[in-house]
């Protein structure tokens, strides 16, 4: 009799469903328009407000229905994943990179550097992110780069704080002390000893961020501060469909579900990754 029988599979095993969803999103993002069932931008006013295929007036040609301009919602959702992935990728890489660097330096050197950084973090975290977004979007033109810029500005502090904590714990480790005793230079210590050991934490943080970033982008686009027409974004779809919620509930619900599923999958995956990586580290 093994332990596996007693622990529910979804806790112990790989999160297949989450990975599947993420894979679909990923494929659509790279795939391009050709793999979509229909042209996401094709207007077809005669077909407007067609409900999903299981409802009275629905058809399999538009499995999730059409929006107010007759555009196929499924195709638009799949196309919208492109923006989500791009934003997530750039935003996480930049905010994670900047945040990790800041956290590394602050955590290792302490003193004034750390104090300054902590104040910056505190200032940054006390400004509501939407307000920040409004200000920046007003200053710059709304669009993809603005969205990424706002997200990086909002989230770097989160990474910095956590990485700083990790580094402060790690720097007391004997192998760091030994490196100093042996005469190893500080940059080498940071790169060789600290960075690889915070890498796991960084990866887990990044994965957990995916959901948040997508939601943030959706909110920004919903408010009109982010992606603009004719680009497709889930947030934008929500904004467009809001006024039709009473007579075409699917137009707003479907993109909403897409957002939810993607965030959920990213979170489940991130949690699983953290559990997988942590105990092994302890074994190390």
Partner 1 sequence: MLEVDAVTKHYRTRRGTVRAVEGVSFTVPKRGTLALVGESGCGKTTIAKMVLLLEIPTAGVIRFEGQDIATMARPALRSYRRRVQAVFQDPYASLNPRLRVGRIIAEPILAHERPGRTALDKRIAEVLDIVGLPAAAARLYPHEFSGGQRQRIAIARALAPRPELMVLDEPVSALDVSIRAQVLNLLQDIQAEYGLTYLIIAHDLALVQHFSSAVAVIYLGRVAEAGPTGPVFADPRHPYTQALLAAVPLPDPDHVLSEAAAAGEIASALNPPSGCSFHPRCPHAFAPCSVDVPPPYRLAADHVAACHLLKEALP
Partner 2 sequence: MLLQVDQLRMYLHLRRGVLRAVDGISLHVNEAETLGLVGESGSGKTMTGLAMLRLLPRDAGRIESGSIALDGRDLTTLTETEMVREIRGRRIAMIMQDPMTSLNPVFSVGDQVGAPLRYHDIARGAVLRSSVIDVLRRVRLPSPEQRLGDYPHQFSGGQRQRIVTAMAIGCTPRLLIADEPTTALDVTIQVQIIALLKRIQQDAGLGIVLITHDLGVAASLCHRIAVMYAGQIVETAPVRAIYRSPAHPYTQALLAAIPRLHATAKRLTAIPGQPPSLIDPPAGCRFAARCPHRMARCTEPPPMVDLGDGHSAACWKLAA
Which residue ranges make up the site for partner 2 (CB under 8 A)?
A: 1-4, 6-7
For residue 196, the partner it binds in partner 1, partner 2, none, with Cβ less than 5 to 8 A by kind, is: partner 1
Comparing CB distances to partner 1, the nearer of 76 and 171 is 171
- Whole-number minimum distance, CB 277 to partner 1, in Å? 12
Report the DSSP beta bridge partners of residue 66: 72
Asked if residue 112 binds partner 1 (CB under 8 A), the reply is no
Which pair of structure tokens corresponds to residue 148? 């990424």
Q: Select from partner 2, partner 1, none the partner in contact with residue 197, using the beta carbon and a kind-dependent cut-off of 5 to 8 Å.
A: partner 1
| Contacts of partner 1 in 228-247 (CB under 8 A) | none
Residue 187 in contact with partner 1, rule: CB under 8 A? no
Is 179 a binding residue for partner 1 by CB under 8 A? The answer is yes
In terms of Cα–Cα distance, which of 186, 161, 162 is closest to 176?
186
- Residue listed under structure tokens 């069932």: 37
6 vs 172, beta carbon nearer partner 2: 6
Tell the smallest beta-carbon distance from residue 223 to partner 2 (Å): 44
By CB under 8 A, is residue 110 in contact with partner 1?
no
Nearest approach, Cβ of residue 196 and partner 1 (Å)? 4
Residue 8 binding result from partner 2, partner 1, none, given CB thresholds of 5 to 8 Å by partner type: none
Under rule CB under 8 A, residue 276 binds partner 1? no
Least separation in angstroms between residue 77's CB and partner 2 is 40
Among 119, 173, 242, 276, binds partner 1 (CB under 8 A): 173
Asked whether position 264 contacts partner 1 by CB under 8 A, the answer is no
Q: Please tell me the distance from the alpha carbon of residue 240 to that of residue 141, in angstroms, as a whole number.
A: 20
Structure tokens at 211: 């959901």
User: Residue 276's binding partner, choosing from partner 1, partner 2, none, with beta-carbon cut-off 5 to 8 A by kind?
Assistant: none
State the minimum distance, in angstroms, from the CB of residue 176 to partner 1. Answer: 8
Interface residue with partner 1 among 45, 177, 245, 260 (CB under 8 A) is: 177
Of 128, 178, 186, 224, which one interacts with partner 1 (CB under 8 A)?
178
Mapped to the 3 state alphabet, what secondary structure does the chain carry?
A: CCHHHCCCHHHHCCCHHHHHHHHHHHHHHHHCHHHCCCCCCCCCHHHCCCCCCCCCCCCCCCCCCECCCCCEHHHHHHHHHHHHHHHHHHHHHHHHHHHHHHHHHHHHHCHHHHHHHHHHHHHHHHCCHHHHHHHHHHHCCCCHHHHHHHHHHHHHHHHHHHHHHHHHHHCCCHHHHHHHHHCCCHHHHHHHHHHHHHHHHHHHHHHHHHHHHHHHHHHHHHCCCCCCCCCCCHHHHHHHHHHHCCCCHHHHHHHHHHHHHHHHHHHHHHHHHHHHHHHHHHHC
Residues that bind partner 1 (CB under 8 A): 173-175, 177-185, 192-193, 196-197, 281, 283-284
């Amino acid at each position: 009799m093994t332990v596996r029988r007693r622990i529910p599979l979804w806790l112990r095993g790989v999160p297949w469903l989450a990975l599947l969803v993420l894979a679909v999103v990923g494929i659509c993002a790279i795939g391009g328009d050709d793999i979509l069932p229909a042209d996401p931008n094709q207007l077809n006013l005669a077909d407007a407000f067609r409900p999903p295929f299981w409802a009275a007036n629905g058809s399999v040609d538009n499995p999730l229905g059409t929006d107010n301009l007759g555009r196929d919602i499924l195709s638009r959702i799949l196309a919208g994943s492109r923006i989500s992935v791009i934003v997530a990728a750039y935003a996480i890489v930049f905010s994670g990179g900047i945040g990790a660097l800041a956290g590394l330096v602050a955590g290792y050197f302490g003193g004034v550097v750390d104090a300054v950084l902590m104040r910056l973090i505190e200032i940054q975290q006390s400004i509501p992110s939407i307000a920040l977004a409004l200000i920046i979007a007003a200053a710059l033109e709304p669009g993809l780069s603005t969205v990424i810029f706002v997200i990086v500005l909002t989230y770097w502090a989160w990474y910095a704080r956590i990485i700083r904590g990790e580094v402060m714990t790690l720097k007391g480790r004997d192998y760091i002390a030994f490196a100093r005793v042996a005469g190893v230079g500080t940059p080498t210590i940071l790169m060789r000893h600290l960075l690889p050991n915070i890498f796991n934490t960084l990866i887990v943080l990044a994965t957990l961020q995916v959901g948040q970033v997508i939601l943030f982008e959706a909110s920004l686009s919903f408010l009109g501060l982010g992606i603009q027409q004719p680009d497709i974004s889930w947030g934008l779809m929500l904004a467009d469909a809001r006024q039709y919620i009473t007579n075409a509930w699917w137009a707003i619900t479907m993109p909403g579900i897409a957002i939810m599923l993607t965030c959920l999958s990213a979170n489940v995956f991130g949690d699983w990754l953290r559990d997988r990586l942590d105990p092994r580290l302890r074994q190390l």
